[in-house]
Amino acid sequence: MSITDEPTATAITAVWHDDENTAERWFSLISSTYHAAVAENDGNPPDFDRFWSAFDNAASSAHGANVEAFRGYLANVNDPMAVIADLAGDAPDAVLAEVLGLYRAGLAAAYAGQGELPAEAAVGDGDGDGEPYDESYWAAYLERWAGAWNGADDTWTEFAEGFTYWAGEEPKFATELREQANALVGHAGTLDLPARVGYLADFGLVAVDQQTVTEVGEPSGETPGETPVEAAQQVTEEAELVEQFADSPVVAEAVDNLLEQDVAPILAVALQDVPEAAELTPEEINEVLERVLAKQLSSQLAETA
């Protein structure tokens, strides 16, 4: 088995810890206790009772009720020592980073499903001047990072590192915010890119105009439309060109020709592609007409010049 297979994967989140440092000590203790027992048994895996006696003695004072809760989970597993061996890895702490990543992922999944972190995980060491942790600080932190990721694979690491780092720099509840940020990013990092974009979009962290992603690292092939700034700049440039020829004798004739031959048909076709075009107000239609007229007129006048 591996740590991603059942029942080992479930064992990772069988109990919640006060914070990530406590979780790291927990999994490290499982690994070190197992390998010490192997060494004492001439290099052979110990039986479960021998392992558990050593682990219980080492873990009870620091991890309290979690020790018995974990024992309760293992009691329902067909081969508990196989689970312990998976969590221990081939050497002390050999799989610790991977185990912690799966722990964060499970924490974030629980958070996403319940709307809040499990109570044991939501309250960390605490740096709120003795106050109970207030979830509104997490909501405010998410708000400050709204739209911060553009949904691209090559910017993910930079976003993830910044999001988690600055959570720990908050003036209040930094410990709890960092834990929640780590949990969120940890789970998102286990998803493929489209799923990651969708998951973080639910938290408001993905830019609204990010490209649709169909495969990891590959854009959909659709060309993004003009941004409002680009559209405004284009209209301004076209209007300035028209203004340069405002006194030209060819302008009046060009306008008449454009309205009859070019603008009207173009506008009719364009409106076919506009959702709910029938509900456009006269002002909105005039805006479309002015845009098309400016574009076509500027093109003709440029050729005439």
pLDDT tens-place string over residues 218-271: 333 343 444 444 444 554 555 555 555 555 555 556 555 555 555 455 555 555
Three-state secondary structure call for residue 190: coil
Is the pLDDT score of 216 beyond 60? no
**H or E stretch covering 6:** none
Report how far residue 23's alpha carbon sits from residue 55's, in angstroms, rounded to the nearest whole number: 15
Rounded distance, CA 234 to CA 280, Å? 23
Model-wide pTM > 0.75:
no
CA gap 23, 62 in Å, rounded:
11
Q: What's the CA gap between 64 and 70, in Å, rounded?
A: 11
Residues 24 and 100 sit within 8 Å (Cβ to Cβ): yes
pLDDT in tens, 190-199: 888 998 898 8
Q: Which two three-digit tokens encode residue 118? A: 């499990």
213, 220 Cβ separation under 8 angstroms: yes
- At 1-51, the pLDDT tens digits run 678 888 898 889 888 887 888 888 999 999 999 999 999 999 999 999 999
Q: Is the pLDDT score of 55 beyond 80?
A: yes
From first CA to last CA, the distance across the chain in angstroms is 77
Query: Are residues 116 and 170 in contact, defined by beta-carbon separation less than 8 angstroms?
Result: no
Q: Of the given ranges (44-48, 69-73, 246-250, 289-293), which has the lowest mean pLDDT? A: 246-250
| pLDDT over 50 (residue 298) | yes
Q: Which two tokens stand for residue 21?
A: 């440092």
> Quick check: 161 pLDDT over 50?
yes
pLDDT value of position 114 = 42
| Residue of 161, 125, 168 whose CA lies nearest to 21 | 125
Contact 138, 182 (CB under 8 A): no
* pLDDT score for 178: 84
Return phi, psi of residue 143, to 5°. -65, -40
Q: What is the largest CA-CA distance in the chain?
A: 102
